Structure 1
Amino acid sequence: MDNVELFQRLGLAIAIGAAVGVERHWRERDEPEGARTAGIRTFTMFGMAGGVAGLLERSIGIASGYPGITLTGFLIAIATVMAIFEIREAIAEKSFSVTSVIAAILTFGLGALAVLGDMALASAGGAALIGILVSREFLHQAIRRLQWVELRSAVILLAMTFVLLPIIPEAPVGPFGGVSPKSIVLLVIMLASISFAGYVAVRLFGSERGDVLAGAIGGLVSSTATTVAFARRSRTEEAALTLGAGAISAGAVSLLRTALLIGTLAAPLLPALLAPLLAAASVLVVYALLLARRQQAAGPQAVPGNPFELAAVAKMALLLAAVAFLARAATQQFGGGGLIIASALSALADVDAATVTVAGLLPSIDVNLAAQAIGVAVVCNMAAKAVYAGIFGSLRFLLHLTAATVLSVGAGLIVWGLGVAA
């Protein structure tokens, strides 16, 4: 490591300390001189101390046969001094907070990391530390507003994602490629996440905007799963209009995502499919916005009482997994000769599978046949979502989703026909 790099690393350590110091000093900017324990200068020196300790560790600590002794000595000294002054300040102000002490220790550690380790990791750690410090008011307010049912749902979702999912076997079970237990659990997590995101969005932005935003985000993952999740909510909640708007916005995002996939994986199909997809998506966007505006005119709706019910989510996931299995089995039975039928069947669960499959067959199949296969898959997926809405959702939800689907498909077919005629 040459001197230029050492200067860069030490400079990063000092910059991390200065950035943390700006936040710490800003919070106590109205205090008179000598009334704060540590501000911008002190935290800058904490970062510099970490960098200097790292340099000494490189040249002295490792060579002495006692690696880490230099860093440990510096850290103990800094933590002790900072703690003593924080205790004096806390007694004077009658407050209890260890944030500045921990921030000082982390600043020192990140300064040492900048010299001894990965500079990118040190930079990211510094940004994360500052982000945590500046978000104090937001986090405190969020905790004050947090309800037990929200905390419980979040814990369940985290447990399923980071505890249950890693230990579930991934190997598929059964004929025709089988069904992977991990894929079912992943589908449960996805449905629960969509429901939870919708709940949070409604809490933050109100039902007239929250459901539409949550639906659009869910459409990036799976418009089918989003539609099923919103349909279930429409049975127990009064906000059928905004839930319908959310499901419709998910469909619009799904169409745009399909166009992006085609442009990425099957560019020769884009001239034939781009205009119909954009026309269909535009109709859905307009319909969703009109529904949301109607709900806003009707007045605010109550926030749902539960982010998601695990039993109901699990049943929906099993149904979608069964549909996907039957579609895959039928696809294998029809083979390549029944591309249109196979695409239609696979789209009962998700249109992405059909898009990727058809794209993988190019250029061995005719471009027109490939475009027709994807077009049929898109229409069948939209029709399937209307059927799911009828199974899981309220009548009002079903009527709006069906109307939007018919108008959207009609607009897409008209544009398709005009393109063929031209």
Structure 2
Amino acid sequence: MYELGTVELIQRLSIALAIGLLIGLERGWNTRDEHEGERAAGLRTHGLAALLGGVWGAIAEHFGGGGAIALAIAFALFGAVIGFFRYRETVRLNTFGATTLVAVLLAFALGAFAVVGDQQAAAAAAVATTTLLALKQLLHGWVQRLTWPELRSGLLLLAMSFILPPVLPDHPIDRWGAINPFELWLLTVLIGVLSFAGYVAVKIVGYRRGVAVAGMAGGLASSTAATVAMSRLVADYPRQVNVLTAGAIFANAVMGPRVLTVLGLVNGDLAMRLAAPLIAIGLVYTLGGALLMMRRASDGAGANETLAIRNPLDLPAVLKFSALLATVMVLSRIATRFAGSKGVFALAALSGIADVDAISLALARQGVGEIGLESAAVAILLAIVSNTIVKAGIGWFIGGWAMGLRFTLVSVLALGAGVAALMTAPAFGL
């Protein structure tokens, strides 16, 4: 037991009152159209509830262990009284809901915690509480749009992140020392998180909010898949070739920053070496997409189409990427051991046909030590070039010559800017 000084006690009670007013502000605004006396708890009630909790917290501190029991009894009695008033309100309105009751109880509890515990933690909890209350419509709308495969994917991501890693061996298990199951799975989770974020962005934004935003969001999930989707739309709506090609270009504009993010989380030195070329590639793609957007056709055909991106966290997709990453890591180690940087360049060009992330992670994790920073940077750019050639081919064969020509032209300029940046970056100390 310790005694609070007068100044500190007043400060803590003030924080308790502020916590209650913060929560009560949202509750009061939400029920602002109701007449006085028709709601169980508003701005003043939440403020007073938190202040009451703070006072009982001060009492608990003064009387030690017995005070803690008194605080628990006070909380129970207060909850019973508020619960009774909330019950009468729901009967009168013929509704159901426990949110307001929980909010008042949280105000009381956080007010007490502000006095007897960590003030910053109590304030942070109050902000989180108010945020959850204010996001009611958004959260309910998101739950209504949530599909079972998406929920399953979210649970899979949690299992991947917290359940499986502790049971995986944290040491190489192959003869070349390339595959560490623990690190391999963490890298798989990293890509899964980035891809799922892009997938969620596509679901939230959609095509109707703008091809540019939807294309960039789709690029976070899979720039190849987004290019295929835009190419199919061009085939159906050829008069929209400029805006839809711009969508594919915007999807590729985020490929550089995406790779840079992955490298930054795994190998900061390699990320710094590639920062200039990857940013240059992204900027040229963005500029090219913006110029095509300015030339968009007046015909609105296709404006209601959906940018369809496959859920990247389906279990088969996760296992396929993990297998691809493991294969690339083994081949990368073998290539560097027997063929040096030339072998890695060939491997990067081949693996880039299917995926850029796998070779980037493999080189960031183990390739730099074998072939050096410069060779690893060149290999990753080769993978990006290879992947871009594949997407240009998709544009030509699915979207037609008009899309293929536009996409290829912008891609050549973007890759040229990246190569130039790689060659000149050392002059700037990168």
**TM-score normalized by structure 2?**
0.74
1:248 counterpart residue number: 252
Correspondence 1:47 to 2:50 = yes
Asked if the contact 2:333–2:367 (Cα under 8 Å) also holds between the matched residues in 1, the reply is no
Q: 3-state SS of the aligned residue for 1:29? A: coil
Correspondence 1:409 to 2:418 = no
Q: Relative to 1, partners in 2 of residues 1:135 and 1:405: Cα closer, same or farther, differing over 3 Å?
A: same
Asked if the contact 2:184–2:326 (Cα under 8 Å) also holds between the matched residues in 1, the reply is yes
Counterparts in 2 of 1:128-167, with a 5 A limit?
128-167=128-167
Asked if the contact 1:191–1:229 (Cα under 8 Å) also holds between the matched residues in 2, the reply is no
Correspondence 1:284 to 2:290 = no
Counterparts in 2 of 1:32-71, with a 5 A limit?
32-62=35-65, 64=66, 68-71=68-71
1:314 counterpart residue number: 319
CA distance in structure 2 between the aligned counterparts of 1:401 and 1:168, rounded to whole angstroms: 43
Asked if the contact 1:75–1:108 (Cα under 8 Å) also holds between the matched residues in 2, the reply is yes
CA distance in structure 2 between the aligned counterparts of 1:184 and 1:395, rounded to whole angstroms: 35
Asked if the contact 1:61–1:70 (Cα under 8 Å) also holds between the matched residues in 2, the reply is no
Counterparts in 2 of 1:165-204, with a 5 A limit?
165-204=165-204
Letter in 2 for 1:382: I
Q: Relative to 1, partners in 2 of residues 1:187 and 1:275: Cα closer, same or farther, differing over 3 Å?
A: closer
Quote how far apart the aligned CAs of 1:33 are. 1.8
Asked if the contact 2:212–2:247 (Cα under 8 Å) also holds between the matched residues in 1, the reply is no
Quote how far apart the aligned CAs of 1:47 are. 0.8
Q: Which runs of 5+ in 1 are unaligned?
A: 219-225
- Pick which of 323-332 and 121-130 moved more: 323-332
1:10 counterpart residue number: 13
1:380 counterpart residue number: 382
Asked if the contact 1:331–1:346 (Cα under 8 Å) also holds between the matched residues in 2, the reply is no
2:308 counterpart residue number: 304
1:222 counterpart residue number: none
Q: Relative to 1, partners in 2 of residues 1:416 and 1:60: Cα closer, same or farther, differing over 3 Å?
A: closer
Deviation by residue 1:135-183 (Cα, 9 ceiling, x = unmatched): 1111222223333333333333333333334433333311232312234
Q: Which runs of 5+ in 2 are unaligned?
A: 235-243, 352-357
Quote how far apart the aligned CAs of 1:358 are. 10
Aligned-residue Cα RMSD (Å) equals 4.4
Asked if the contact 1:215–1:250 (Cα under 8 Å) also holds between the matched residues in 2, the reply is no
> How many positions carry a matched residue from both structures?
397
CA distance in structure 1 between the aligned counterparts of 2:54 and 2:117, rounded to whole angstroms: 11
2:97 counterpart residue number: 97
Q: Relative to 1, partners in 2 of residues 1:319 and 1:203: Cα closer, same or farther, differing over 3 Å?
A: same
Aligned sequence identity (%): 33
Quote how far apart the aligned CAs of 1:357 are. 8.3
